[in-house]
Amino acid sequence: MADTATEPTEARLDQLVGLLRGQITGAGELPPERVLCDQLQVTRHMLRKALKALRDGGEIKATKSGRRAAPGGAGPSPSALSQRRIVQTTNPFEVMEMRLMIEPALARLAALRASPDEIARILEAAQSAPSLTPSEADQAFHRAIAAGARNSLASELNFLLHCVQTDSRLRFTDSDTDARTTQARVRDRDAAHRTIAEAIAARDADGAAEAMRAHLAATQMKLMGRLGLTGFESG
């Protein structure tokens, strides 16, 4: 869904800059503009304003390929190296524990703070787009909520957490891959996403937080079941 033709507010622009900064943190460079527009559900005009803010601050530079990279050459950025270290020392259970700490709070904030446009994006992202893989669709939904929470630091932390979770080195079984994700699993996940999105749209902060917590707790239980760790206690 495209943004309205009105000039973006400073708060929305700052939020987009924060999300882009989080992508630099996770990958060391940014995808092409077309990909970013699809991922973040913004117009190219608004994206370029945010990219200009990052360029003016010396946080990114244009490369010959048209991709934007963090300054410092072709090597991995310090933040990318930090992500690698995190992946080497953590496990899927710790990732889910952190998600359970952070994401219900983001859902609560989104219910309180999200603009009508941001709520529309959350509702739209709750239904997996046919053009996206299952993991991309899941990421799009949770990113939309993080954007609606309007807390750039929390959004960046959440983005890094999702980057760590989707790293192939943390996948314990083939069932974690897109190729093994069934349509039934996508339908169940979309139903849970819609419950969260509808609570946010209704400005039900407690309901949004609880729906997110229940969704992530169910995901945690499925992970434990796949690994045969039904006796594992979180927290």
What integer is the mean pLDDT of 12-21?
78
Query: Comparing C-alpha atoms, which of 187, 208, 225 is closest to residue 93?
Result: 225
Own/partner contacts of 103-106, CB < 8 Å, gap of 24 or more, are: 103/142, 103/145, 103/158, 103/212, 103/216, 104/209, 104/210, 104/212, 104/213, 104/216, 105/149, 105/154, 105/209, 106/145, 106/146, 106/149, 106/151, 106/154, 106/155, 106/158, 106/212
pLDDT value at position 55?
79
Element (H, E) at 61: strand 61-62
Comma-separated ranges of CATH 1.20.120.530 domains in the chain: 90-226
Contact status, residue 90 vs residue 82, Cβ threshold 8 Å? no
Q: What SS3 state is found at 55?
A: helix
Per-residue model confidence (pLDDT) at position 205? 98
Beta bridge mates, 29: 69
What does the alpha-carbon distance between residue 198 and residue 219 come to, in Å, rounded to a whole number? 20
The correct CATH number of 90-226 out of 3.40.50.300, 1.20.120.530, 3.90.1150.10, 1.10.4080.10 is 1.20.120.530
Give the pLDDT score at 82: 60
Measured distance CA(83)–CA(23) in Å, rounded: 12
Domain(s) labelled CATH 1.10.10.10 in the chain stretch across 10-69
pLDDT of residue 127: 94
Overall average pLDDT of the 142-162 stretch: 85
The confidence score (pLDDT) of residue 196 equals 98
- pLDDT at residue 168, rounded to an integer: 57
SS (H, E, C) 150-179: CCHHHHHHHHHHHHHHHCHHHCCCHHHCHH
Q: Is there a contact between 224 and 232 (Cβ–Cβ < 8 Å)? A: yes
Residues 19-31 have a mean pLDDT of 65
Q: Token pair of 13, please? A: 């622009």
Residue 26: pLDDT band (50, 70, 90) is very low
pLDDT band of 67, cuts 50, 70, 90: very low
Task: Count helices and strands (H / E) in the chain.
Answer: 10, 3
Question: Which of the four pLDDT bands, split at 50, 70 and 90, describes residue 63?
Answer: low
The architecture that CATH gives domain 10-69 is Orthogonal Bundle (1.10)
Tokens of 189: 């996940």
SS3 42: coil
Nearest-angstrom CA–CA distance, 53 and 58: 9
What is the pLDDT, as a whole number, of residue 74? 42
214-231 pLDDT per residue, tens: 999 998 888 777 665 554
Reported as a single tens digit per residue, the pLDDT across 89-142 is 788 888 889 999 999 999 999 999 999 999 999 999 999 988 888 888 888 899
Centroid of chain to Cα 96: 14
pLDDT at 232 over 50: no
- What confidence tens digit (pLDDT) does each residue in 162-213 have? 777 776 555 554 445 556 667 888 899 999 999 999 999 999 999 999 999 9
Q: Which carries the bigger pLDDT value, residue 39 or residue 104? A: 104
